[in-house]
Structure 1
């Protein structure tokens, strides 16, 4: 995993992020530049995680998972695996495959789609810590069967304009709005 590569991606993202995320960009930039290994789960304060915002090929639905431990609807994603992931983007794609069972997932952009910093409650031997989550935009066919993993209670394709019905989570609503805006721009 390459810190310089992530810092460059964050700098690029900072030029196009919305006001709400400027604080996240600054905090994540500081975290990446000051921690010896910001990608490691052993970094006590928190670590970089990777997520996939997956749209269906009609671009009307996003694939969400009802996370078993957190008991809430979230996008697919998780911890980076240094032995498997050569970049945060690669980690997001790997997590998407692992958590969905989908056979074909296509990157819609190599650039960061969204970022978020959120607290993860203590669980077992793990103390409460922060996830510095970097999110990328992907597409997959909703007709392809998804497969539950032990991490999820449920997987569902949810209409972008109905995500507010399954979650009031600010970052999910923000990504639904961004996806709609991204799609509007790409069709004009």
Structure 2
């Protein structure tokens, strides 16, 4: 199931943020998108990323991935490849690459679910910067097929209460809370 491509600007124009923090983040992201020719470029200090929380609806579990750089369990996702402009497509590609799950699909729809500006620490190869992260929810029917892309990025299927307890970041807890409402 492929969704039709939507630009970040299209998604953000129709998106309704929840709360003061997200309202400020969405305003920053929209201004950045309007002010640059390539909002996905890693050469600018604030750039777009696409991510997703993966769910197995039948068991109401979520999949988290260990991120060494951030030192915490997070959702899957990342940077667009050259020429990519559809945030949902980026989240789907990154999700497949990071989990080995070939059957990922937008769930229950391809709607943008959360917009967050996240600080990313610098490394010897890359200065500190910020991700304008556009988040979605993806589902799999084959949770046992999940396989980490590398040994340093393990995956864990968790109940929502377990994931909320494990999450170190407030913004991930908010994404998990929104997903809990979708799962009912």
Deviates more, 1:173-182 or 1:150-159: 150-159
Partner SS for 2:15: helix
2:36 aligned with 1:39: no
Offset of 1:152 from its aligned partner? 4.2
Paired residues of 2:119 and 2:131 also in contact (CA < 8 A): yes
1:28-67 equivalences under 5 Å are 28-43=29-44, 45-58=45-58, 60-67=60-67
> Which residue is 2:135 aligned to?
135
Offset of 1:59 from its aligned partner? 5.3
CA distance in 1, matches of 2:12, 2:158: 28
CA distance in 1, matches of 2:151, 2:41: 20
Number of equivalences = 177
Describe the superposition over 1:104-146 as per-residue Cα deviations: whole angstroms up to 9, x where unpaired. Answer: 1111122201111011111122110010000111101354322
Where structure 2 has 5 or more consecutive residues not aligned to the other structure, the ranges are 1-5
Paired residues of 2:115 and 2:134 also in contact (CA < 8 A): yes
Paired residues of 1:103 and 1:144 also in contact (CA < 8 A): no
Partner SS for 2:29: helix
Paired residues of 2:69 and 2:121 also in contact (CA < 8 A): no
TM-score, length-scaled by structure 2: 0.88
Deviates more, 1:115-124 or 1:134-143: 134-143
TM-score, length-scaled by structure 1: 0.87
Where structure 1 has 5 or more consecutive residues not aligned to the other structure, the ranges are none
What do you get for the CA RMSD once the two structures are aligned?
1.8
Paired residues of 1:66 and 1:74 also in contact (CA < 8 A): yes
